[in-house]
Amino acid sequence: MHFCQAYRRRRGDIGRFYVVFDGRDAEGFGAREQQQGDVTVCFTQKPEEADARILRVIEAQGSRSRCVVVSNDNEVFNNARAFGARVLSVQEFYQQAQPTKARQADQRDGDRKVMPSSRAAEQITEELRKHLGKR
């Protein structure tokens, strides 16, 4: 969440972030959403899957070309593109979302795989645990 919020502030041209996960195994309809600022985290509930929810969010947008979908899932990637959204891999998004200094350091490192620092990975994991209600 913090990563998305910081990126949004730096860019200044992003209206809203939706982060969609397949939710818990609980039966139900619709999705559980939590909002922090302009970042909405959505945990789908069975029978809906995150992939379908992402496509519904794209469909609901008036200007689909303004949507950017970040995923390494080929089905999501291809369907989002077919709906008119711009698509990025997780690695491409991470590289673009980093502050300028970190991006420049990665460019100097050449073809090295882009990965979050161990501290950033721990923060991401901790935030997900909080949202999933696990400690």
**Domains defined along the chain, listed by start:** 2-132 (3.40.50)
Terminal CA-to-CA distance of the chain, rounded, Å?
A: 18
pTM for the model stands at: 0.62
- For 19-67, the pLDDT digits (tens) are 888 876 555 555 578 888 888 888 888 888 889 999 988 888 877 667 8
The CA–CA distances, whole Å, from 44 to 37, 59, 100, 116 equal 20, 17, 34, 26
